[in-house]
Amino acid sequence: MSQRFHRIAFVASPTPDARAAAAALMRRYDHVTPEDADVVVALGGDGLTLQVLHRFMDQAKPIYGMNRGTVGFLMNEFREDGLLERLERAERSVIHPLFMETHDTEGRRHEARAINEVSMLRQTHQTAKLKIAVDGQVRLPELIADGLLVATPAGSTAYNLSVGGPILPLDAQLLALTPISAFRPRRWRGALLPNFARIRIEVLDAEHRPVAAVADHTEFRRVCTVETWLDQATDLVLLHDPGHSLDERILREQFG
């Protein structure tokens, strides 16, 4: 049987546990730099996995995470033994990022990609006022809230779930549009949109009620408009041990 991966790289978060785990694995297994690898083993938490996915966004380089962090939703269990065999048996999950394009009050254009969510957050004590359009049609003329987010299925169990948004199966052809502490309309809980939808959010009174736009960990402040859509041309590959795929983890999350 042919070997799936010939060149392995190890990347660790700066915590002592992660660094120690990386050192132990590098003593046991041949390894190369991440740029030269055909699979990257990430040692840390979900934040590190997101960083590595962003780092190799345009290369579709498979990422196999092992948990040396806190939550580890995207990670596999850490073990030193049997890494090569685990990589051979690992199952692939392919996800796509959101593309975000935004303009700020100075007229500057910015862009970024998000694996979990694109969010808009008020910058001061005043609530944000937002107008929401989907595929060119205004669906909500005014949302008064702390903010709003658009989440992918892979990101639906992160910030989206914390603010009361729905959990989406990984293969759902949907995006979650979820308000953050909505004041008006008070009963609006968000919407499920097809994953080909193009969402445009306009900040009303951007000068006096400033809003920041965030794509995962990339933030732009004092924005006027944000447009976001799923970048279906970009594939991101996560590897998981059999029985621990993202689909299975999302299903488990819905049953506590």
Q: Which of 17, 30, 36, 46 is catalytic?
A: 46
Calculate Rg over the CA atoms of the chain: 20
Nearest to 158 by CA among 44, 235, 47: 47
Nearest to 39 by CA among 101, 74, 86: 86
Grouping H, G, I as helix, E, B as strand and the rest as coil, residue 101 is strand
205 given a catalytic annotation = no
Q: Which residues contact 30 (CB under 8 A, 6 or more apart)?
A: 8
Structure tokens at 114: 């998000």
Report the C-alpha gap between 210 and 37 in whole angstroms. 43
Site of tokens 């949907």 = 174
Cite the active site residues.
46
